[in-house]
């Protein structure tokens, strides 16, 4: 426990998006995050994977303090991030920084790179020589010093994202939230950004909360992986274990859907399960297990009772009735031909 | 090659006139689709994939675009020279297209039925005389084919009432409703989630196989092309750089760009993330001289800076535009290095 940098406990975020009726006005809520717990160890890359609407970005935004959770909380090295009301103390802001998905819109087009990097320095490192710091930051991310005077539009997509990383580093944080840092980039540029992030992590002993929908990328960067589906985590495991022994039916479906480049990778994909059905709207989450409508192993209990997290191996937890004790009756998967026909 | 290909692009040049100069986007593109074949076109953002496809359908905005040379032969007739009437026949019944973003491809203020019915009406001469009721009955069929539940009700739905995956299914149904001989699918799954993308692509594959339609699948994801296509073209900065049957290309990529691209894709089997290709995609305003890839190429030679490599056969059905595989250039080079 002592080496956990971030502990998220039963985090919930419900957004009110409207009201029902005129007389009995009841709020209509979207349960964007609905009871998420995990912890990130010092120096590790914790991967959070999910499709759109799964709540992974909401978790990121709560972590950096853009939203207050509806309930539950987050601890940074044992200290409650939300203990002091709405305004988060500066020392917490300094420790947790974020890199957004689209560097085109996260960098102000009317500011030079110098101005962009200057702001966090002014706030978090007021006693340092800021020009020297900016040069140090640019050097750290392997960009030439004359980039200081450029505008974001003069940079390529990859370079913009590297500037966004430099901005996150400016406050000397210990945890960086990476919200799909390479999904707006071409694959030939992605490698440079990812390798930079890996090197910075080793040199500066950073911890990453790495959010992505790209499982192949996750396999290569994360130490541990969590899968989210409709506001809840379905499975958490060490990266190697996760890809060799995926247990939750949704994880298997996700893995089987990835387009791959070689036969070797093809063998790693669960072959019995194919993607079916639509992702339900987060406004109208199905009762019981939220995945039951798409699950090929669905049982009666899944439609009524929401499963709880159970440990199936060291560090491997799954939220599925198939793995709950006492052992559920052996589930017989529908033959793949019927699953295929349903698509 | 005695069989006439269904579609053949020969030495296509497209320019865009912009403030500050002329963007030489397509620089001599060669491309061929045989009857019943599924052809993939891969390349990164801005390499000219979509421009090529829009040139085929003549839906490039003219101006600023200008086709400065080349031919687009569909069943032997040049689309670029067709009259408006002939062009209209070719679009739709001959060639139809599925776009990347189904939300933008459907008009938000008309129901699905109102957008689908005209397509059916023009699908064949007999359909033009159908009553509204009969047309509506026919409109249900393509929606059923793309496995949408409750198609009758969907006809009265607006695009906003459907999910992204459903909208793309509607677009696929609409594109195939005319039984086109050639279907162009421009990144059909890119805007969708991975599990939904997988469903849509498998559906598309099943439908085109049933109809024996030819398909051009455009994608920037190598894995998707590998899964779907018989033959693949790789494009870089407005040029075709490599062409081979899918299996051959993935087993033995020849062009340094294709090799770099494949190495850059993170693998499910692990092994870390490669550094990718150094440098950036060149500007079309001042494209590099000679081979457009030479500033980023790890194996660039002197000749690459001055001359443009021809797109020629390296093996029987494997073509590549690179001097490394040009016997006239590569052999003397080798001798020079060994001596």
pLDDT in tens, B298-310: 888 888 888 888 8
Question: Residue B270 and residue A243: Cβ atoms within 8 Å?
Answer: yes
Question: Residue A191 and residue B222: Cβ atoms within 8 Å?
Answer: no
**pLDDT number for residue A234:** 92
**pLDDT number for residue A334:** 47
Instruction: Using a CB–CB cutoff of 8 Å, tell me whether A214 touches chain B.
Output: yes
Question: Residue B198 and residue A275: Cβ atoms within 8 Å?
Answer: yes
How far apart, in whole angstroms, are the C-alpha atoms of residue A330 and residue B69? 66
CA distance B68 to chain A (A): 29
Question: What topology is assigned to A4-244 in CATH?
Answer: Rossmann fold (3.40.50)
Query: For the packed helices B194-211 and B164-176, what is the interaxial angle rounded to 10 degrees?
Result: 10
Contact B280, B292 (CB under 8 A): no
Question: Residue B198 and residue A187: Cβ atoms within 8 Å?
Answer: no
Question: Residue A253 and residue B163: Cβ atoms within 8 Å?
Answer: no
CB contacts, 8 Å: A195 with chain B:
273, 275
Q: Residue A270 corresponds to which tokens in the numbers above?
A: 């669960």
Mutation target among A142, A186, A274, A295 for the B interface, most CBs of B within 10 A: A186
Q: Residue B334 — very low, low, confident or very high, per pLDDT cuts 50/70/90?
A: low
Q: Which of A300, A309, A311, A295 is nearest to A250 (CA)?
A: A295
**pLDDT number for residue B82:** 85
Helix runs in A157-186, H state only: 157-169
Helices (H) and strands (E) in chain B, counts: 13, 12
How far apart, in whole angstroms, are the C-alpha atoms of residue A133 and residue B161? 51
pLDDT in tens, A120-135: 999 998 888 889 999 9
- Per-residue pLDDT for B2 more than 60? no
Question: Residue B267 and residue A192: Cβ atoms within 8 Å?
Answer: no
Q: Residue A42 corresponds to which tokens in the numbers above?
A: 């010092």
**Partner-chain residue, chosen from A51, A255, A259, that has the shortest CB–CB distance to B227:** A259
Instruction: Using a CB–CB cutoff of 8 Å, tell me whether A262 touches chain B.
Output: yes
Question: Residue A188 and residue B197: Cβ atoms within 8 Å?
Answer: no
So where are chain A's domains?
4-244
Percentage of chain B surpassing pLDDT 90? Answer: 11
How far apart, in whole angstroms, are the C-alpha atoms of residue A200 and residue A193? 11
Nearest CA in chain A to B259: A188
Main-chain dihedrals φ then ψ at residue B186, nearest 5 degrees: -95, 100
Mean pLDDT by runs of 10 across the 343 residues of chain A is 83 87 81 91 92 87 90 90 83 92 90 93 88 92 91 90 93 93 87 92 94 89 92 92 90 89 83 80 85 90 90 90 67 46 42
CA distance B192 to chain A (A): 9
How far apart, in whole angstroms, are the C-alpha atoms of residue A318 and residue A160? 38
How far apart, in whole angstroms, are the C-alpha atoms of residue B90 and residue A234? 50
Instruction: Using a CB–CB cutoff of 8 Å, tell me whether B280 touches chain A.
Output: yes
CB contacts, 8 Å: A52 with chain B:
193
How far apart, in whole angstroms, are the C-alpha atoms of residue B129 and residue B261? 52
CB contacts, 8 Å: A265 with chain B:
267-269
Instruction: Using a CB–CB cutoff of 8 Å, tell me whether A261 touches chain B.
Output: yes
Q: What is the DSSP pairing of strand B182-186 with strand B95-98? A: parallel
Is the four-CA dihedral B212, B218, B221, B226 of positive or negative sign?
A: positive
Helix runs in A145-238, H state only: 157-169, 187-204, 215-221
Which residue in the block uniquely carries the two structure tokens 């009437």? B85
Q: Residues for chain B: how many in total?
A: 339
- Per-residue pLDDT for B331 more than 70? no
CB contacts, 8 Å: B262 with chain A:
261
**pLDDT number for residue A336:** 43
Q: Which of A86, A338, A195, A167 is nearest to B266 (CA)?
A: A195
CB neighbour class for B111 (10 Å; exposed up to 12, middle 13-18, buried from 19): middle
ipTM of the complex: 0.80
| Mean pLDDT taken over chain A | 87
| Mean pLDDT taken over chain B | 85
**Partner-chain residue, chosen from B199, B250, B278, that has the shortest CB–CB distance to A343:** B199
Contact A8, A37 (CB under 8 A): yes
**pLDDT number for residue A339:** 43
Instruction: Using a CB–CB cutoff of 8 Å, tell me whether B135 touches chain A.
Output: no
SS3 A165: helix
Nearest CA in chain A to B165: A278
**Partner-chain residue, chosen from B194, B203, B273, that has the shortest CB–CB distance to A258:** B194
How far apart, in whole angstroms, are the C-alpha atoms of residue B314 and residue B247? 16
CB contacts, 8 Å: B281 with chain A:
156, 186
How far apart, in whole angstroms, are the C-alpha atoms of residue A112 and residue B70? 44
Nearest CA in chain A to B251: A262
**pLDDT number for residue B335:** 52
Mutation target among A181, A238, A261, A266 for the B interface, most CBs of B within 10 A: A261
Cα pseudo-dihedral B196, B201, B206, B208, rounded to 10: 140
Distances (CA, A) of A214 to A255, A260, B194, B267, B280: 10, 12, 9, 11, 23
Main-chain dihedrals φ then ψ at residue A334, nearest 5 degrees: -60, 150
Query: For the packed helices A157-169 and A113-124, what is the interaxial angle rounded to 10 degrees?
Result: 20
**Partner-chain residue, chosen from B166, B226, B276, that has the shortest CB–CB distance to A189:** B276
Distances (CA, A) of A252 to A199, A337, B231: 31, 17, 29
**pLDDT number for residue A156:** 86
Question: Residue A243 and residue B271: Cβ atoms within 8 Å?
Answer: no
CA distance A6 to chain B (A): 25
Percentage of chain B surpassing pLDDT 70? Answer: 96
- Residues 33-72, chain A, touching B (beta carbon < 8 A): 51-52
Instruction: Using a CB–CB cutoff of 8 Å, tell me whether A339 touches chain B.
Output: no
Question: Residue A216 and residue B165: Cβ atoms within 8 Å?
Answer: no
DSSP string, A96-118: EEEE-S-HHHHS-TTS-HHHHHH
- Per-residue pLDDT for B333 more than 60? no
How far apart, in whole angstroms, are the C-alpha atoms of residue B107 and residue B112? 9
CB contacts, 8 Å: A255 with chain B:
268
Instruction: Using a CB–CB cutoff of 8 Å, tell me whether A329 touches chain B.
Output: no
CB contacts, 8 Å: A253 with chain B:
195
Cβ of B337: how many Cβ atoms within 10 Å?
A: 7
Furthest-apart CA pair in chain A: how many Å? 67
CA distance A340 to chain B (A): 10
Contact B297, B257 (CB under 8 A): yes
Contact B45, B91 (CB under 8 A): no
Q: Residue A321 corresponds to which tokens in the numbers above?
A: 């009735």
Q: Which of A157, A154, A162 is nearest to A178 (CA)?
A: A162
- Pairwise pLDDT comparison (B332 vs A158), residue with the higher score: A158
Main-chain dihedrals φ then ψ at residue A269, nearest 5 degrees: -80, 135
Q: Is B57 left (phi over 0), alpha (psi -120 to 50) or beta?
A: alpha
CB contacts, 8 Å: B44 with chain A:
186-188
Q: Residue B330 — very low, low, confident or very high, per pLDDT cuts 50/70/90?
A: low
**Partner-chain residue, chosen from A188, A258, A278, that has the shortest CB–CB distance to B163:** A278
**pLDDT number for residue A337:** 43
How far apart, in whole angstroms, are the C-alpha atoms of residue B125 and residue B140? 19
pLDDT in tens, B39-57: 999 988 888 888 888 888 8
């Amino acid at each position: 426990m002592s080496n956990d940098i971030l502990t998220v406990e039963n985090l919930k975020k419900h957004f009110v998006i409207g009201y029902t009726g005129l007389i009995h006005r009841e709020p209509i809520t979207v349960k964007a995050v609905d009871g998420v717990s995990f912890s990130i160890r010092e120096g590790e890359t914790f991967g959070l994977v999910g499709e759109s609407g799964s709540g992974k970005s909401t978790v990121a935004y709560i972590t950096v303090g853009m939203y207050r959770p509806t309930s539950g909380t987050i601890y940074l090295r044992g200290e409650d991030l939300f203990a002091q009301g709405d305004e988060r103390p500066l020392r917490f802001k300094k420790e947790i920084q974020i890199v957004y998905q689209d560097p085109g819109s996260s960098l102000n087009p009317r500011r030079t790179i110098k101005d962009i990097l200057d702001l966090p320095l002014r706030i978090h490192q007021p006693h340092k020589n800021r020009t020297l710091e900016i040069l140090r930051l640019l050097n750290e991310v392997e960009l030439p010093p004359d980039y200081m005077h450029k505008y974001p539009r003069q940079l390529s997509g990859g370079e913009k994202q590297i500037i966004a990383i430099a901005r996150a580093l400016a406050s000397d944080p210990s945890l960086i939230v990476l919200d799909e840092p390479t999904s707006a980039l071409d694959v030939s540029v992605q490698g440079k950004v990812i390798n930079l992030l890996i090197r910075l992590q080793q040199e500066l002993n950073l911890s990453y909360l790495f959010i992505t929908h790209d499982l192949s990328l996750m396999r290569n960067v994360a130490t541990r992986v969590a899968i989210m589906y409709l506001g809840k985590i379905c499975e958490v495991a060490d990266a190697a274990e996760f890809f060799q022994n995926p247990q939750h039916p949704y994880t298997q479906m996700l893995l089987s859907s990835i387009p791959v480049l070689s036969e070797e990778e093809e063998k790693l994909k669960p072959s019995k399960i194919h993607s079916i059905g639509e992702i339900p709207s987060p406004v109208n989450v199905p009762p019981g297990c939220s995945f039951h409508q798409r699950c090929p192993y669905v049982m009666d209990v899944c439609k009524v009772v929401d499963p709880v997290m159970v440990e199936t191996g060291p560090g491997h937890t799954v939220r599925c009735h198939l793995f709950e004790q006492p052992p559920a009756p052996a589930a017989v998967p529908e033959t793949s031909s019927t699953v295929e026909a349903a698509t | 090659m005695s069989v006439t290909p269904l579609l053949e692009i020969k030495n296509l040049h497209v320019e865009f006139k912009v403030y500050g100069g002329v963007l030489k986007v397509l620089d001599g593109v060669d491309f061929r689709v045989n009857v019943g074949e599924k052809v993939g076109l891969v390349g990164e953002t801005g390499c000219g994939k979509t421009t090529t496809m829009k040139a085929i359908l003549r839906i490039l905005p003219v101006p600023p675009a200008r086709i400065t040379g080349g031919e687009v032969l569909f069943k032997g007739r040049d689309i670029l020279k067709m009259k408006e009437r002939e062009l209209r026949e070719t679009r739709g019944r001959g060639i139809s297209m599925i776009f990347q973003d189904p939300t933008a491809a459907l008009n938000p203020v008309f129901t699905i039925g109102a957008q689908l019915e005209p397509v059916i009406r023009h699908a064949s001469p007999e359909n033009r005389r159908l009553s509204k009721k009969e047309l509506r009955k026919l409109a249900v069929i393509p929606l059923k084919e793309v496995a949408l539940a409750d198609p009758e009700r969907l006809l009265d739905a607006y695009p906003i009432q459907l999910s992204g995956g459903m909208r793309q299914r509607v677009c696929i149904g609409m594109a195939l409703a005319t039984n086109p001989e050639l279907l162009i699918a421009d990144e059909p799954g890119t805007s969708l989630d991975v599990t939904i993308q997988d469903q849509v692509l498998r559906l598309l594959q099943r439908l085109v196989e049933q109809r024996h339609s030819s398909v051009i699948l455009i994608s920037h994801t190598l894995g998707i092309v590998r899964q779907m296509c018989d033959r693949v073209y790789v494009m870089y900065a407005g040029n075709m750089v490599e062409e081979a049957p899918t299996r051959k290309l993935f087993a033995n990529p020849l062009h340094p760009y294709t090799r770099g691209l494949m190495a850059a894709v993170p693998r499910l089997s692990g092994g870390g993330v490669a550094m990718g290709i150094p440098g950036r995609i060149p500007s079309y305003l001042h494209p590099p001289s000679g081979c457009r890839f030479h500033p980023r190429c790890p194996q660039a030679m002197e000749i690459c800076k001055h001359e443009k490599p021809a797109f020629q056969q390296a093996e029987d059905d494997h073509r590549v535009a690179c001097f490394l595989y040009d016997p006239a250039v590569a052999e003397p080079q080798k001798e020079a290095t060994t001596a």
